[in-house]
A and B are shown apart, each in its own frame.
Chain A
């Protein structure tokens, strides 16, 4: 049973380009969470999705950021017109339930560098 898979592991984008980060949850998990870790800072929640639905996007910047979790395929975190301040590690977690009672499993993260 493969764990949470994120790709790419490293992504370099020039300012103004788009970044697409992908996350495949663990088999059987339908709850996906994205977190961001800025340099020298802690992990902060961004968005919580179930299949085809955004449940909570309270941690996501209002502009340039979007997320989806389609019926088929991985969850995608999309950052448009990237800026240097978007440089961070982005982690995806999945859980079998979305009620706080079960363990969250994390992927290895995508390290985005904006040059």
Chain B
């Protein structure tokens, strides 16, 4: 059974800092890994999808890496802004696209 863990559970950084969010999964037989953002009381916004054959995927200030063999992914956020404050979730699908989510990292970027 796939288990997904995210650390840290919460993170507070001053504006402008670069930061790394971590995601680990127990079953490395995955097609891809998705990172999402969730604002309080809102839905999920897909940030990045990184395929199992890829090592990295970039979108603007976001960079996701994937090390399938060790069961780890990181989301790097460069030059953080207060608008980046949200909960970040990683998720991996099984062979039927059923997603297993991590418990999330709650990020607060302060002025």
Q: Mark A82-104, 1 if CB is under 8 A from B, else 0.
A: 00000000010101011111111
Flag whether A106 is at the interface (Cβ < 8 A). Answer: yes
Assuming the contacts A101-B32, A105-B46, asked whether A35 and B99 have C-beta atoms less than 8 A apart, the reply is yes
Chain A interface extent, by class: 20 to 34
Residues on B with beta carbons closer than 8 Å to the beta carbon of A45: 98-100
From A48, A91, A103, contact of B43 by CB (8 A): A91
Flag whether A54 is at the interface (Cβ < 8 A). Answer: no
Q: Are A91's CB and B44's CB within 8 A?
A: yes
Assembly CA distance A103 to B34 (angstroms): 8
Interfacial residues, chain A to chain B (CB-CB below 8 A): 31, 33, 35, 41-45, 48, 55-56, 91, 93, 95, 97-109, 111
